[in-house]
Amino acid sequence: MAPEIYKQAEYVGSCVDIFAAGVLLFTMVTQRPPFNQATERDGFYKLILSNNFDRFWEKQERLNTEVTYSDEFKDLISSMLERDSHTRPSLAEVKETAWFKGEVPTIGEIKTEFEEREEWRSNQQLEETDDSESGAGFDGTYVYRSMSQGNEHEVEVNTKKLTVRDHHAEIKRCTEFYSNASADTLYKKIIDYQEINAIK
């Protein structure tokens, strides 16, 4: 929702629609929303409120390295997400932007892209099947134990062989914890959370 709706202020329907279209377009291109809520409490949207679009895009690029943000795309999205609803472009103006008028893939290129995505998805499903058959992953059998002093590597633990006493002893001995995600995955999620919520 547009910020003016959150504030319960008067609004112009077409301006709200452009804001919503900007959020949808960003999400379609990047596969993630630009922010959680268009309020001051949201770390990403706070940058838009302070008109700090350079920092906003810098953080987006760092968070989602698989996407290329062209200058034309940045300009369009920045204008559609403007805090001042009256400075947002009209639909006719959006259609005249460099990004909107830019090159589009051919039918053949689109077909190739979707075939590659389907192949990738099939491979992912095979890997998940292999993991479940081997007893690893998310079935609750194996988890990763965090690194503690004296351990140079993560340790994969078979939880079915651990008793309550074993768990309690580990907790008392050091600050280890158990997770079904690796340390790298957990670290990335923490960094992502900090980025999204503007935690320094």
The CATH number that applies at residue 7 is 1.10.510.10
The 10s digit of each residue's pLDDT in 140-156 is: 444 455 544 455 455 55
Q: Do 65 and 102 sit in the same domain of this protein?
A: yes
Is residue 123, in this structure, part of any structural domain at all? Answer: no
Domain with 44, as residue range(s), is 3-107
Across the strands, what pairs with 142? Answer: 158
Tally the domains of the chain: 2
Is there a single domain that holds both residue 73 and residue 161? Answer: no
pLDDT at 159: 52
Helices (H), the chain: 3-6, 13-30, 43-49, 53-63, 71-80, 91-95, 107-134, 164-173, 183-196
Residue 172, domain member (yes or no)? yes
Are 62 and 139 in the same domain? no
Find tokens 């140079």 and name the residue: 152
**How many residues are listed for the chain in this entry?**
200
Say if CB 87 and CB 18 are below 8 A apart: no
Helix axes 183-196, 53-63, angle to 10 degrees: 170
C-alpha neighbours within 13 Å on the C-beta side of residue 62: 14
Residue predicted with more confidence, 151 or 38: 38
**Which range is least confidently modeled, 13-17, 121-125, 128-132?**
128-132
Q: Quote the pLDDT of residue 24.
A: 94
Instruction: For residues 179-185, give the mean pLDDT.
Output: 68
The reply to whether 14 and 70 lie within a common domain is yes
Q: What is the pTM of this model?
A: 0.56
The model's confidence at residue 120, banded by pLDDT at 50, 70 and 90, is confident
Distance, CA of 52 to CA of 55 (rounded, Å): 6
Q: Which of 88-97, 113-122, 173-182, 187-196 has the lowest mean pLDDT?
A: 173-182
* Same domain for 16 and 80: yes
The b/e string for 51-87 (b: 16+ C-beta within 10 A; e otherwise) is eebeebbebbeeeeeeeeeeeebbebbbbbbbbebee
